[in-house]
Structure formats: C-alpha cells, structure tokens
Amino acid sequence: MPIIGFIVQLLVPLWQLAAMVVAVRQALDFSSTTRAIGVCIVAFFLMVLTLVLFIMFTSFFLAVASNAVPMEPL
C-alpha cells in the first residue's frame, strides 16, 4: 500500500495546478489557456519557494532556541 501514497503525493500538486489554471482563466478572463498556465506555474513556484524559506527559517530558529543556554536572573 505505500506505493499508493507515493502516487497520490505525486498527483495532488498536479491536480492543484490544474485547478489553479481553471480558476485563473475564469477569474482573469484570459482567452488562452497558455497564458493562465504560465501565470499558475509562476505562482506555484513562488508558493513552493515561500514554503521552503518558512521551513528553513523555522528549523533554524528552533535549533538556535534548543541550544540556548538559560541565563541566571539578575
């Protein structure tokens, strides 16, 4: 059964991207699907970049906080 989870993990971002294309084409009233695909691919990569940066900064600050030495009260 683990293979099904792997396939689902590959298909979900593609399904999300397809839904974004349809939504952008309808919302922005594009006449061509190609333009909507371009907009969605750029937005998708920006979303992934933001997520990666958030995870990196969070893990960095958690590592710093876990290694912090408690100070004595003044």
- The answer to whether residue 36 sits within a structural domain is yes
- The answer to whether residue 9 sits within a structural domain is no
Q: Number of folded domains in the chain?
A: 1
Please give the pLDDT value at position 26: 94
- The answer to whether residue 3 sits within a structural domain is no
- The answer to whether residue 31 sits within a structural domain is yes
Q: What is the pLDDT of residues 20-38, one digit of tens each?
A: 999 999 999 998 899 999 9
Neighbours of 37 (CB within 10 A): 17
Q: What is the pLDDT of residues 42-58, one digit of tens each?
A: 998 999 899 999 999 99
Please give the pLDDT value at position 3: 87
State pTM to two decimals. Answer: 0.64
- The answer to whether residue 71 sits within a structural domain is no
Contact indicator for 58, 66 with CB cutoff of 8 Å: no
Q: Which domain holds residue 20?
A: 16-62
- The answer to whether residue 39 sits within a structural domain is yes
- The answer to whether residue 40 sits within a structural domain is yes
- The answer to whether residue 7 sits within a structural domain is no
